[in-house]
Structure 1
Amino acid sequence: MSTDPAPPFRPHSSHWGVFSAAMRDGELLVRPHPGDPDPNGIIDNFPAALRHPARIAQPMVRRGWLERGPGPDDRRGRDEFVPMEWNAVLDLLAGELRRVGMRHGAGAVFGGSYGWSSAGRFHHAQSQIHRFLNAAFGGYVASVNSYSSGAASVIVPHVLGNYEDLTKNNVTWDQVAQHSEVVLAFGGMALRNAMVAGGGISEHVERGAMETARARGCEFILVGPLRGDLPEESGAEWIPGIPGTDTALMLALVHTLVAEGRHDQAFLDRYTVGWPVFARYLLGEADGQPKDADWAARITGVPAEQIRALARRLQGRRVLITVAHALQRAEHGEQPVWMGAVLAAVLGQIGLPGGGYGYALGAIGYYGRRANAVPGPTLSQGRNRHGNFIPVARIADMLLNPGTEYRYNGQTRRYPEIRLVYWAGGNPFHHHQDLNRLRQAFARVDTLVVHELAWTATARHADIILPATMTLEREDIGYSSHDPLMVAMHRIVEPFGEARDDYDIFAELSRRLRVDEVFTEGRSSREWLRHLYARTEEALRAQGAPALDFDAFWEAGSLRLPQAPDDGGPWRAFREDPDANPLPTPSGKIEIFSETVAGFGEASCPGHPAWLPPEDVPAPATPLQLIANQPATRLHSQLDFGGHSAAAKHRGREVAMLHPADAEARGIADGDIIRLFNARGACLAAARVSPDIRPGVVQLPTGAWYDPENPEEDRPLCVHGNPNVLTRDVGTSALAQGCTGQLTVVEVERFTGNLPPIRAFEPPSAKPEA
């Protein structure tokens, strides 16, 4: 037993929760924030991850790049690495940045980052890399939108207005608990999603809000293939429709409401435009096919009478329609987002407390919460004077097809020719689809630079790898726009090996490129924290609210911020007076038919919501639909080697769920190792046989680190269970070009061969330069 005094627990934060941590006898101890009513177990990934062998201890350079110089190379991802000293590798990288900048300009540099690397607002990798590239090159080729909401973030501004207001400043969980009578959740509101929030979260309230609402008599109805997409506390009724058919079901609900005179025509007349055009389509006057319950039953697998009965239950009650991000991560993903708003408008509930349209409520932890009344400490990224961009999910298209035209949001654009990809924060071998195609894409560039704390598949494909610190190894300020607790994130432990903060790496590079005054402004990391905090302190003092100076805040460990009232935001104001408070759409109203979208002329996204049959449907060779959704034991792929994530695997593999009927037909028992496959690739997983999934569907969460059995092959077997070897790399439509990684088709079989070992967390071969 240790005789050391009890270690001091110091405050810290993560995207999955505020917590405190301490080191004792070389072991990391973590405990959740005491005010959190429903703490997230993902914080338990930290102890095992902190000093895991998967961590990168020193700078590395891929041998082929070092020996042959920059250029396309299909050895990326299967080459060995050469360790280098920091000064040598920074000199080497600075030289390559100068070469690309002088020969090809900012338009040949892609700044890759996905923003989820740290809850701290200063050591926010996306801000750091973009600030550096703006300083070094005057700009870079950027990405826009996200893998999570790529379709929604493009269609919403055209037809509903401000995306941030729709998701963040609309219906709150308090309103659900107090006012909602029916919550009709298309795709559910899975707690695994709401457990995380950019910038950190101190109180997980979703489970409690649903439990309170249910006790009051609120009915929760889940439409989706997975029973677990609403928690037990909701007592949800489950309608297990066919994945990807929600738009057809919504159309049939609206058809029943209109055909039986149960819709709110007065609301449609005052608050929307385009209803007559849409109604002609709905009633079949435009195409000869009424979108009634009988029509929808054939598409959705939900009986027609059940559809009609559901529609009748909605009339005259405080109904909240929610649509999960998952629904728009598929072909024609714009349609369920738009159609969900139409269903809410037909019911006339938009703008009422606990009613209307809560798009993506439950999809992320800061949706459904009150906004903070003061600004937070955010780092300016500077100005990107180059201005070129791609939709984020089109990275492989860009690298494989330079100069090719594509459509996006009504524009005809052209993919740039990228010579250098610089990535800090994020793992595209988690987020992207068709990973074998992504491997081909990364083989095309001259140089791939990665800042990373561990040997992810992205790091293994890099030419220059710079070891970055983990959040526990640096100081920062945790802040979310919709969580009242701002956290002084103390350093808990010294950096692993030779790891450095992203800021320190970029500061050294900017000095070599003679742009350090632009990038650092002469400040150290601690001086930046003090500078950024001042913005919040000044805003607090201006409001007459309690305000600590920086030193007092740092000593206290946290500061509770005032929040805006729960007044329904712009949507409530719009309902109360649509003339004085119009929506930021062309008409100022909800656009059921959009002249703008129709004017783009895209067959894949017409001028009103419509049922557009997908191309990727079950067939004899691939009879099952695969759902590749978010994991419950980690954020995306972060810390997959942590204890909480590892404990949920079976025999080291990710777990795939399938229905007993599908398992029996294939001779699969619970716990068996199975092979999932289609024309794009194959992976292994462990089988979980459960009735809580619709027959004909298999579910495998994303985030297991890509682990090819034989990287020399074009389509190697992933032995760990990464579903993105199976998903399609195509856009949602020509409008948004969003990610379609939620759904694809596969076959599944029991794996009977010799079980390959898992090497995802083993460092690659590294040998000193000869």
Structure 2
Amino acid sequence: MTSTHRKTHSSHWGAFTARWQDDRLVITPFSGDPDPSPLLQNMANALGHRARIAGPMVRRGWLEQGPGPDNRRGADEYVALSWPEAYERVAAELQRVAGESGPEAIFGGSYGWSSAGRFHHAQSQVHRFLNTTLGGYVRSVNSYSSGASAVLLPHIIGDINEIARRGVSWQEIAQHTEVMISFGGLALKNSQVASGGLSEHTERGFIDQAARRGAAFISVSPLESDLPAEARGEWLPIRPGTDAALILALLHVLVSRRWSDEAFLARYCVGWEKLVAYLRGDADGQVRDAAWAAPICGIPAARIEALAARLHGRRVMVTVAHSLQRAEHGEQPVWLGLVLAAALGQPGLPGGGYAYALGALGHYGKHHNQVAFPALPQGKNGIDRFIPVARVADMLLHPGEKFFYNGRHLTYPSIRLAYWAGGNPFHHHQDLARLRRAFCRLDTLIVHETAWTATARHADIVLPATMTLEREDIGGAPTDRHLVAMQQAAAPYGEAKDDYAIFTELARRLGGEAAFTEGRGAREWLAHLYQQMRERLRERDVSVPDFATFWQQGILELPQDQDGGRLLRAFRQDPERNPLPTPSGKLEIFSQAIAGFGYADCPGHPVWLEPQQRPDQQHPFYLIANQPESRLHSQLDFGQYSVSRKRGGREICRLNPDDARRLGITTGDVVELVNGRGTVLASAEVSARIMPGVVQLPTGAWYDPVDPLAEKPVCRHGNPNVLTLDIGTSSLSQGCAGQITVVRVGRFAGEAPEVRAFEPPVAASRRPENSGG
């Protein structure tokens, strides 16, 4: 079929139009995007891919033996169901578990990015469904990306959103910043995505503009690729996970040379004197100077001292990436980044100060819309039980066990049923063999999915969901000035239905349809939410077209406020009248609240704490499990761009030429990365853009174990979370510590097993009911 009619649409990595030409889907980036993302290419072949789920399925063991713990999850066959039978089984199981154990036995997981559409946002849909039909569920809080920072920053600076989403803008940096020092870098692969949509990728242009003006960019990272070429910057290689030690040494140089801004520190901060005593080693005799930090960081002391000199007296922007806090004691470098900016007297200055996660997402460093597009209401959750999101395996493996979190001593709930839609924990989570064991403890795992991800392969009931191009929605984000009508471009694959249609039918069977739908279909919800935004804009004397007109034109430009950095700017102008939302009203270099929690792994001021994972003779390499450049997390790993960035069907692992020479490894070899949790196979790439002693393997390759039931699995596709350690960053936040682990590396001997990540699981014929099965 050939169609010249273009449908507007949006994704987390960009707005676009879609049209069919000779049975081929043609994707064209939004014309107003100065730097479109190549991730759009992943959409072109996704709709009819063999990995798609065509109809409702049930795991054979669950079907024949009923709900209950089962170690066969991940290796069992699946049996096709009709939609009516699937609805009946899901509704009956929800009623059974809620009736026997209450809604507090149901975990509404659904962590994941799902669709850019604001209505068909899977997390909102499943949470609304559980709230309106069952009265609630056990929830998760925070994210894998920023779990540590989300808890820490409110204590020391006030509001994480004001620092991340409303921090200093890229436009301001391009005009005023003299030195940008980025701990964890500014990789453009990260900033090309943003939840809700991203119509204009502007980071590259602003970085280029700043560099041409003379701004100096310094990337502190084990990977040279964490700084774009447009920055014309300096790469400062650092051993993974040692940024806290480096910053402490920089602070020591500033103090010892009397370069610290003592007037700023006295007026705007609390606790500086306590940190200075720690730098000098007053309590333990250990001076935290450049000579102390050099062997920890792998950076010569003279270079540390020279770096401090480059920062002194300049307009400096200090940024810390998400990656720093996704590691053991991840709170410490985030805290110290703020302290370094304060010691230089920079917070609140144009183009100066502290920016958390700038460059980590396309949302950050942008201006805000005057009115945000409304979210789908999720209803009231009557269950006040939660876990930090990265502690899901702990919850399932250790029900009733106590854990610390942000000054509280909580108890893991006893979960019998987990409901997941729009997410893939076998991407996000660590130590995947342990996660599999945890899921095997459930009575039932229900999953809505578009394709056979590893999470779907561990589910008891799998309900096929539409992809974004197969339904209508609205794409928009608080910092994106374009609202996009996401027009349907393709019929649903097989028997797939959108989440709202599935939940509507389930709600009808559970007696909660009226509360869930409020009498609206999907298109009526879109019009209703759009009208809410329209009315709020009208209150600001801004007129936008009605819904029908917007839907026909496809793109709407919204008015924005230029409000970047307003919190710290107002604070600097008058800290008494504009205090920060912290206990002291100031920047907290020492937090009395955190100190009062008594956590040895996160004391009252930032410190250097040795991680338990350090290279040794058995595991001599650091492994960096960072975000991929060819997809968003694990989404559309089977897409043509993602597949084109693999080699031999395997994910690519990068290592330094010196290490490769010593190990006899060349580009294209299949290598194995091994530690006590398992083995991962990948295709080697020798690169001087990674420091010696470090290997890098991005996350997001679909988990593909040779033996799904193995205690120490071998993933033939290249998922590094087979190897990462499943522990919390600290007792304060219990964030994800999956960025860094240690491994041994070698060439794979023999013929490597074929990758089968995108092949559907075995579909079994249904046995007669009286077979005794």
Q: Specify the TM-score bucket, using the shorter chain as the normaliser.
A: over 0.9
1:390 counterpart SS class: strand
Structure 2 contact 367–564 (Cα < 8 Å) conserved: no
For 2:415, the equivalent position in structure 1 comes to: 418
Q: Is 1:53 the counterpart of 2:19 in the alignment?
A: no
Structure 2 contact 168–564 (Cα < 8 Å) conserved: no
Relative to structure 2, which stretch is displaced further, 566-575 or 386-395?
Answer: 566-575
1:645 counterpart SS class: helix
Q: Is 1:318 the counterpart of 2:352 in the alignment?
A: no
The code of the aligned residue for 2:349 comes to L
The separation in 2 between residues aligned to 1:203 and 1:98, in whole angstroms, is 46
For 2:375, the equivalent position in structure 1 comes to: 378
Deviation at 1:569, TM superposition (A): 1.6
Q: Is 1:708 the counterpart of 2:684 in the alignment?
A: no
The separation in 2 between residues aligned to 1:603 and 1:584, in whole angstroms, is 25
The separation in 2 between residues aligned to 1:567 and 1:341, in whole angstroms, is 17
Q: 2:491 aligns with which of 482, 491, 494?
A: 494
Q: Is 1:353 the counterpart of 2:384 in the alignment?
A: no
2:369 counterpart SS class: coil
Q: Is 1:659 the counterpart of 2:675 in the alignment?
A: no
Structure 1 contact 434–724 (Cα < 8 Å) conserved: yes
For 1:142, the equivalent position in structure 2 comes to: 139
Deviation at 1:535, TM superposition (A): 1.2
For 1:718, the equivalent position in structure 2 comes to: 715
Q: 1:276 aligns with which of 273, 276, 293?
A: 273
For 2:164, the equivalent position in structure 1 comes to: 167
For 1:590, the equivalent position in structure 2 comes to: 587
The code of the aligned residue for 1:322 comes to T
For 2:261, the equivalent position in structure 1 comes to: 264
The separation in 1 between residues aligned to 2:479 and 2:580, in whole angstroms, is 22
CA RMSD of aligned residues (A): 0.8
The code of the aligned residue for 1:496 comes to Y
Q: Is 1:731 the counterpart of 2:728 in the alignment?
A: yes
Q: Could you say if the C-alpha distance between residues 254 and 9 of structure 1 is closer, same or farther in structure 2, counting changes exceeding 3 Å?
A: same
1:406 counterpart SS class: strand
Deviation at 1:581, TM superposition (A): 1.1
The separation in 2 between residues aligned to 1:114 and 1:713, in whole angstroms, is 26
The separation in 1 between residues aligned to 2:202 and 2:98, in whole angstroms, is 48
The separation in 2 between residues aligned to 1:304 and 1:714, in whole angstroms, is 44
Q: Deviations over 1:373-426 (max 9, x none)?
A: 112131011111101000000000000001011111111111011000000011
The separation in 1 between residues aligned to 2:709 and 2:195, in whole angstroms, is 37
1:417 counterpart SS class: coil
The separation in 1 between residues aligned to 2:539 and 2:133, in whole angstroms, is 36
Deviation at 1:689, TM superposition (A): 0.2
1:422 counterpart SS class: strand
Structure 1 runs (4+) deviating above 4 angstroms are: none
The separation in 2 between residues aligned to 1:435 and 1:716, in whole angstroms, is 8
1:21 counterpart SS class: strand
2:764 counterpart SS class: coil
Q: Is 1:504 the counterpart of 2:519 in the alignment?
A: no
The separation in 1 between residues aligned to 2:495 and 2:750, in whole angstroms, is 41
Structure 2 contact 713–722 (Cα < 8 Å) conserved: no
Structure 2 contact 11–197 (Cα < 8 Å) conserved: yes
Q: 1:639 aligns with which of 636, 653, 662?
A: 636
For 2:229, the equivalent position in structure 1 comes to: 232
Q: Is 1:671 the counterpart of 2:672 in the alignment?
A: no
The code of the aligned residue for 1:449 comes to I
For 2:79, the equivalent position in structure 1 comes to: 82
Deviation at 1:568, TM superposition (A): 2.3
Q: Is 1:97 the counterpart of 2:101 in the alignment?
A: no
The separation in 2 between residues aligned to 1:432 and 1:710, in whole angstroms, is 19
Residue correspondence of structure 1 range 528-567 to structure 2 within 5 A: 528-566=525-563
Residue correspondence of structure 1 range 84-233 to structure 2 within 5 A: 84-233=81-230
For 1:19, the equivalent position in structure 2 comes to: 16
Q: What count of residue pairs does the alignment treat as equivalent?
A: 767
2:714 counterpart SS class: coil
Deviation at 1:713, TM superposition (A): 2.2
Structure 2 contact 676–712 (Cα < 8 Å) conserved: no
The separation in 2 between residues aligned to 1:500 and 1:604, in whole angstroms, is 47
The separation in 1 between residues aligned to 2:750 and 2:564, in whole angstroms, is 60
TM, length-normalised to structure 1? 0.99
Deviation at 1:567, TM superposition (A): 5.0
1:322 counterpart SS class: strand
Deviation at 1:115, TM superposition (A): 4.1
For 2:472, the equivalent position in structure 1 comes to: 475
The separation in 2 between residues aligned to 1:527 and 1:495, in whole angstroms, is 20
For 1:409, the equivalent position in structure 2 comes to: 406
The code of the aligned residue for 2:33 comes to D
Q: Is 1:610 the counterpart of 2:607 in the alignment?
A: yes
Q: Is 1:433 the counterpart of 2:430 in the alignment?
A: yes
Q: Is 1:685 the counterpart of 2:682 in the alignment?
A: yes
TM, length-normalised to structure 2? 0.99
Structure 1 contact 115–124 (Cα < 8 Å) conserved: no
Q: Deviations over 1:473-493 (max 9, x none)?
A: 000000101110011100000
The separation in 2 between residues aligned to 1:179 and 1:171, in whole angstroms, is 11
Q: 1:306 aligns with which of 303, 306, 309?
A: 303
Unaligned 5+ runs, structure 1: none
For 1:572, the equivalent position in structure 2 comes to: 569
Q: 2:33 aligns with which of 32, 36, 54?
A: 36
Structure 2 contact 621–744 (Cα < 8 Å) conserved: yes
Q: Is 1:333 the counterpart of 2:330 in the alignment?
A: yes
For 1:344, the equivalent position in structure 2 comes to: 341
The separation in 1 between residues aligned to 2:743 and 2:624, in whole angstroms, is 10
The separation in 2 between residues aligned to 1:713 and 1:181, in whole angstroms, is 53
1:151 counterpart SS class: helix
2:181 counterpart SS class: strand
Deviation at 1:11, TM superposition (A): 0.5
Relative to structure 2, which stretch is displaced further, 562-571 or 664-673?
Answer: 562-571
The separation in 1 between residues aligned to 2:562 and 2:657, in whole angstroms, is 48
For 1:525, the equivalent position in structure 2 comes to: 522
Structure 1 contact 247–335 (Cα < 8 Å) conserved: yes
The code of the aligned residue for 1:627 comes to I
The separation in 2 between residues aligned to 1:378 and 1:573, in whole angstroms, is 29
The separation in 2 between residues aligned to 1:712 and 1:168, in whole angstroms, is 42
Structure 1 contact 222–230 (Cα < 8 Å) conserved: yes
Q: Deviations over 1:302-347 (max 9, x none)?
A: 1101111110111111100001100000000000000000000000
The code of the aligned residue for 1:410 comes to G
The code of the aligned residue for 1:329 comes to R
Q: 1:629 aligns with which of 617, 626, 629?
A: 626
The separation in 1 between residues aligned to 2:517 and 2:81, in whole angstroms, is 25
The code of the aligned residue for 1:144 comes to V
Structure 1 contact 23–493 (Cα < 8 Å) conserved: no
The code of the aligned residue for 1:517 comes to A
The separation in 2 between residues aligned to 1:620 and 1:733, in whole angstroms, is 27
Q: Deviations over 1:26-48 (max 9, x none)?
A: 21110101111110010100111
The separation in 2 between residues aligned to 1:345 and 1:675, in whole angstroms, is 44
Q: 2:482 aligns with which of 471, 478, 485?
A: 485
The separation in 2 between residues aligned to 1:670 and 1:211, in whole angstroms, is 32
Structure 1 contact 451–465 (Cα < 8 Å) conserved: yes
For 1:369, the equivalent position in structure 2 comes to: 366
Q: Deviations over 1:200-221 (max 9, x none)?
A: 0011011111100000000000
Q: Deviations over 1:96-141 (max 9, x none)?
A: 1100010000110000112410110000000000000111221111
The separation in 2 between residues aligned to 1:204 and 1:699, in whole angstroms, is 26
